[in-house]
């Protein structure tokens, strides 16, 4: 791609943002949205710091004088919104929105030192000559403040995407601003992350369509931007690992990233992710996707040639088994079949970002998904734990509960005293995407099972046991304009308290199989329940307890 083409792509990537620019505040002004935590805001229009900085960088990339001036105005404004008080706990970071200062966030997001710092580093790396001496000093000071926040926070290498971003920001700052102490810090971080990943078996934020791509992008920045040979030697195997995770789980018939996913914000793959493949292969693998990424000039993606065939046609079924986290023996199984992709993890919580049991079906133009969830009052309950075993298109699974886990989030709102308030508790097999519209669902076998007829095969979901204290689960079929589902309703009624630790039995056991043939055997004993089908077997506790 030549220089003129790249400039044209940048302009197309930001064309829709110009109307969102607020000249009074010198920031973007957009409708409020959030993942449901960190912010206490509920709606309205907001001025986001991170997105405004990304827009400013893209404006500078255009090389057009009028846009360059706007970009500099945004930089001056947003840099001034950083916490610059060294005595403050939030020193070096930004709030999400102008409308919500750091003191009002719940809690502040320290990752903004990384996300904002990365954008500011690209400004200095590529566009420093466009800045006045005063603005350049302000931007560089903001970068150094962000680095001090990163060094003080010192996240574990288990926090994959942030650990990688920490390494890039400190390495790049060390080289750009000639800060040897930060270069040394970045090298140490990258070394720790490389060793941790090697010992672990995979990225801790495993197989994530969101954060594996973030890690891939930041590792690619290290490989493309950093000069230190020690960093380059550490990063090359990590770049390969990130591409390998993406390619190894790619299901070409549906163009989806097969599960299980440690973290995802949606169940269908975005065009942005498909464009990563196209860019990384210089369009040798092309899906005809037109996605214009404003960060494109600053993320040098190069897919290893040996992995390119995995993005191509799938002619024969294959199984991918990967140990994601060795210390707790967390293992993922993915079955890639020309008609579908089924992925599970042997044990995982059911936080709303998890895709611990995920099926893809349909085709590239009309994909569909089936995703297992546990809902408390209509929202994913993080203290529900899924245990599975899978062989090809058969899954034996159970959902149990822990007494020391999270509610809507795994760590930000812990369940207190093992007690929850609920007016609705249910397990849901949710189907969505364009292909879900053609799915029909029939209740069978004494109303404890459902047969789902999908475009090219049938799926049987059978409840072996469903008990929550005094309440026995019942199977209910439902849907709305965009989704269909099979629910196992454990409780529905007036809001009441449930002390999880006081429940003798709290368990949902099930089988999910492609095809309608097959039987299961379930057996309870003192404090446990065993479910078996066709040589697969799991044993789980029936009483909620603490999770280590």
Q: Give the CATH number, domain containing residue 201.
A: 1.50.10
Q: Are residues 359 and 474 in the same domain?
A: yes
Asked if residue 368 and residue 302 are part of one domain, the reply reads no
Say how far apart CA 282 and CA 458 lie, in whole Å.
38
DSSP code string of 21-79:
EETTTTEE-EE---SSSB----SSEE-BHHHHHHHHHHHHHT--HHHHHHHHHHHHHHH
Listed residue (347, 405, 408) closest to 380, CA to CA: 408
Q: What is the largest CA-CA distance in the chain?
A: 77
Could you tell me if 199 and 289 lie in one domain? yes
Say if residue 365 is in the same domain as residue 298.
no
pLDDT given for residue 26 in this prediction: 98
Give the count of beta carbons closer than 10 Å to the beta carbon of residue 292: 17
Q: Quick check: is 331 in a domain?
A: no
Check whether residue 289 and residue 369 sit in a common domain.
Answer: no
Q: What pLDDT was estimated at residue 13?
A: 85
Q: Does any domain span residue 314?
A: no
Both structure tokens of 525: 């004993």
Q: Is residue 378 part of a domain?
A: yes
**Contact assessment for residue 37 and residue 412, using Cβ atoms and an 8 Å cutoff:** yes
Domain match, 377 and 497 both? yes
- Does residue 274 fall inside a structural domain? yes
Same domain membership, residue 387 and residue 281: no
Check whether residue 35 and residue 137 sit in a common domain.
yes
Query: Are both 353 and 294 inside the same structural domain?
Result: no
**Are 301 and 361 in the same domain?**
no
Within-domain flag for 203: yes
Domain count, the chain: 2
- Domain assignment present for residue 318? The answer is no
Give the span between the Cα atoms of 435 and 437, in whole angstroms.
5
Q: What does each of the 548 residues of the chain score in pLDDT, given as a tens digit?
A: 666 677 788 888 898 999 999 999 999 999 999 887 899 999 999 999 999 999 999 999 999 999 999 999 999 999 999 999 999 999 999 999 999 999 999 999 999 999 999 999 999 999 999 999 999 999 999 999 999 999 999 999 999 999 999 999 999 999 999 999 999 999 999 999 999 999 998 999 999 999 999 999 999 999 999 999 999 999 999 999 999 999 999 999 999 999 999 999 999 999 999 999 999 999 999 999 988 888 888 999 999 999 999 999 998 999 999 999 999 999 999 999 999 999 999 999 999 999 999 999 999 999 999 999 999 999 999 999 999 999 999 999 999 999 999 999 999 899 999 999 999 999 999 999 999 999 999 998 677 999 999 999 999 999 999 999 999 999 999 999 899 999 999 999 999 999 999 999 999 999 999 998 888 999 998 899 999 999 999 999 999 999 87
Assigned domain for 317 exists: no
Point out the domain boundary residue: 264, 288, 308. Answer: 308
pLDDT for the residue 37: 83
Tell me whether residue 85 is in a domain.
Answer: yes
Is 365 found in the same domain as 285?
Answer: no
Q: How many CA atoms lie within 13 A of 255 on its CB side?
A: 21
User: Which domain does 495 fall in, by range?
Assistant: 339-541
pLDDT value, residue 12? 87
Last residue of a domain, one of 258, 286, 308: 308
Residues 411, 523 within the same domain: yes
Does the predicted model carry a pTM greater than 0.85?
yes
The answer to whether residues 155 and 166 touch, using CB atoms and an 8 Å cutoff, is yes
């Amino acid at each position: 791609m030549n220089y003129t083409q790249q400039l044209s792509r940048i302009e197309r990537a930001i064309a829709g943002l110009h109307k969102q620019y607020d000249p009074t505040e010198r920031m973007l002004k957009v409708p409020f949205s959030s993942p449901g935590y960190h912010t206490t805001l509920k709606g309205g229009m907001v001025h986001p710091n991170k997105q405004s900085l990304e827009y400013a960088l893209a404006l500078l990339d255009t090389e057009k004088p009028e846009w360059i001036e706007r970009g500099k105005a945004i930089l001056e404004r947003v840099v001034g919104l950083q916490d610059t008080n060294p005595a403050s706990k939030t020193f070096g970071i930004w709030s999400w929105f102008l409308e919500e200062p750091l003191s009002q966030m719940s809690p502040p997001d320290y990752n903004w030192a990384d996300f904002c710092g990365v954008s500011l580093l690209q400004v200095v790396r590529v566009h420093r000559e466009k800045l006045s001496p005063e603005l350049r000093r302000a931007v560089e000071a903001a970068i150094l403040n962000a680095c001090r926040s990163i060094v003080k926070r010192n996240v574990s290498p288990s926090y994959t995407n942030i650990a990688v971003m920490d390494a890039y920001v400190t390495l790049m700052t060390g080289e750009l601003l000639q800060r040897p102490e930060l270069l040394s810090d970045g090298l140490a971080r990258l070394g720790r992350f490389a060793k941790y990943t090697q010992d672990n078996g995979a990225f801790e934020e495993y197989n994530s369509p969101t954060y594996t791509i973030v890690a891939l992008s930041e590792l690619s920045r290290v490989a493309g931007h950093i000069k230190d040979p020690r960093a380059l030697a550490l990063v090359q195997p990590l770049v390969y690992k990130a591409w390998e995770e993406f390619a190894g789980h790619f299901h070409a018939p549906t163009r989806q990233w097969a599960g299980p996913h440690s973290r995802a914000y949606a169940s269908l793959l975005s065009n942005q992710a498909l464009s990563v493949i196209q860019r990384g292969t210089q369009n040798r693998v092309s899906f005809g996707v037109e996605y214009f990424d404003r960060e494109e000039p600053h993320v040098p993606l190069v897919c290893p040639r040996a992995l390119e065939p995995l993005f191509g046609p799938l002619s024969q079924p294959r199984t991918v088994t990967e140990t994601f986290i060795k210390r707790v023996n967390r293992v993922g199984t993915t079955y890639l079949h020309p008609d579908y992709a089924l992925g599970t993890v042997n044990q995982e919580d059911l936080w709303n970002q998890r895709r611990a049991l995920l099926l893809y079906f349909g085709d590239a133009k009309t994909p569909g998904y089936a995703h297992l969830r546990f809902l408390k009052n209509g929202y994913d309950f993080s203290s529900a734990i899924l245990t599975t075993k899978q062989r090809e298109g058969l899954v034996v699974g159970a959902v149990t509960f822990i007494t020391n886990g999270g509610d809507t989030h795994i760590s930000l709102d812990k369940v207190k005293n093992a007690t929850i308030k609920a007016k609705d508790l249910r397990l849901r097999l949710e189907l969505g995407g364009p292909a879900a519209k053609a799915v029909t669902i029939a209740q069978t076998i004494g109303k404890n099972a459902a047969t789902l007829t999908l475009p090219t095969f049938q799926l049987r979901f059978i409840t072996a046991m469903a008990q929550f204290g005094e309440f026995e689960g019942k199977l209910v079929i439902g849907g709305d304009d965009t989704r269909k589902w099979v629910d196992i309703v454990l409780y529905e009624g007036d809001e009441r308290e449930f002390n999880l630790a006081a429940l003798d039995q709290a368990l949902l056991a099930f089988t999910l199989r492609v095809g309608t043939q097959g039987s299961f055997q379930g057996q309870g004993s003192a404090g446990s329940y065993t479910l078996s089908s066709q040589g697969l077997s799991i044993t789980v506790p029936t009483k909620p307890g603490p999770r280590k």
